Structure 1
Amino acid sequence: MGGFSSDSLVLMNQRDFRKLTGQSNISIIYLRVNDINDVEPIAASIQDAINQNHGRKDFAQATTMTSVLETVQSIIGILQLVLVAIASIALVVASIGIMNTMLTSVMERTREIGIMKAIGATNQDIMSIFIIEGILVSSIGGIVGIILGVFGSQGLTMVLNNFMMMGDSSGLAPVITLVSVVLAVMVSLIVGVFSSLYPAWKAARMSPIEAVRYE
């Protein structure tokens, strides 16, 4: 029974089970082998023996933890592909959102930009202001995303462990490394830089006279 959560199982002998439930049929049998290399052959032999005994090829199915883990790994692989697709779409949407926000900021601060350029601010100074602002916006979004990702991964593993009837000590556990956190922060910074380049360039190209006159 190793690998399963004892909180969801009750162990008793067959006589007490029949007395308690009134059922005499056995639906599941768990076996433990001494050598892991014997798992698959023993499972195949048991399945063939039970099916032959009942005269049906599909009467019983022997499932090993290896096959269960392979199924879980395939599900996780599909989830990873879905998450990558969602993350890619989210990056595009975030980039567009940051760009629109920065363009709105440029329009709202047109007079301010004109005044700064009139008192000596260079195009590079103006671009730096808006690029830094875009980086701050994307960094805040990245930090919030990391926090949500940590709690989301915890919730997902709890659901999978409950589905597999596995305890916290023997079930799946999220692995969040420093490298993944740093990578997420770097991606958010890069998105912030590229998303704010056009708004910053547009702000830097403004004529001081026209910007000051802007209503």
Structure 2
Amino acid sequence: GVLSSTGTFLEDQAIYLPLKTVQRFYGQEGIVNLIFVRVDDPQVAESVEEVLTREYPELMVVETDQVMENVGSILGILDAVLLGIGGISMLIAGLSITNSIMMSVNEKVREIGILKTLGYTRREILLLFLLEGLVYSLVGGPIGVISGMLAARLMSSALSVKGYVLPLEFGAKSVAIGLAISFAVSLVASIPPARRAANMRVVEALSHE
């Protein structure tokens, strides 16, 4: 039959068969490679481990806490890798925004010259292109935050084990930090092309073809 979902990846993706059936299928009758021992009182887990290790020295006995410590170490490495990937992603996003706005400036050289003849100041031209960069953050920021949340949920589900669900919290603070980073990257990336537009000389801009 089909069992109800437990909410953990390992169990929900598992197939349960009688032990003898599996042993016969793999041609390993009488062989068991993994045994789970459940104790009613967690305080005696260490004592049980010592007894099993003493009585069966050929076996490797591991407490669940030790397994979770190993999982924690792996997650620490994973965090560092994801942080590196995030940094590279932000760098690529920043360069893309700089390139896009620089192309926009190159396409609007004459318009920039006309705006300056109409009385637009250097500061106003600068703000005009900085705002263009912020539009990218308003569009890309929410998309990035939502994509990150979905990826994190999938990862949490895949790494969850029986009895333990990896903590996953997405509060207003996390969302705000994500959007703030997007805003900051877009703002910084917009500065070089915005300064180029603001520093254009009117004569050169109007003579541009």
TM-score range, shorter chain: 0.7 to 0.9
Q: Mapping of 1:1-215 within 5 angstroms? A: 5=11, 8=14, 10=16, 17-18=19-20, 23-51=29-57, 59-161=58-160, 164=161, 166=162, 170-215=164-209
Separation (CA, whole Å) in 2 of partners of 1:7 and 1:195: 44
Separation (CA, whole Å) in 2 of partners of 1:96 and 1:126: 21
Query: Identity of paired residues, percent?
Result: 29
Q: Deviations over 1:146-198 (max 9, x none)?
A: 1211111122123223xx4x37xx43353222111100111111111111112
Contiguous gaps of at least 5 residues in structure 2: 1-5
TM-score normalised to structure 1 length: 0.81
- 1:139–1:192 Cα contact (<8 Å) kept: no
Residue of structure 1 equivalent to 2:3:
none
Q: CA RMSD in A?
A: 2.5
SS at 1:174 equivalent: coil
Contiguous gaps of at least 5 residues in structure 1: 52-58
SS at 1:151 equivalent: helix
- 2:23–2:31 Cα contact (<8 Å) kept: no
TM-score normalised to structure 2 length: 0.83
Please report how far the alpha carbon of residue 210 of structure 1 lies from its aligned counterpart in structure 2 after TM superposition: 1.8
Instruction: Give the total of aligned pairs.
Output: 198
SS at 1:87 equivalent: helix
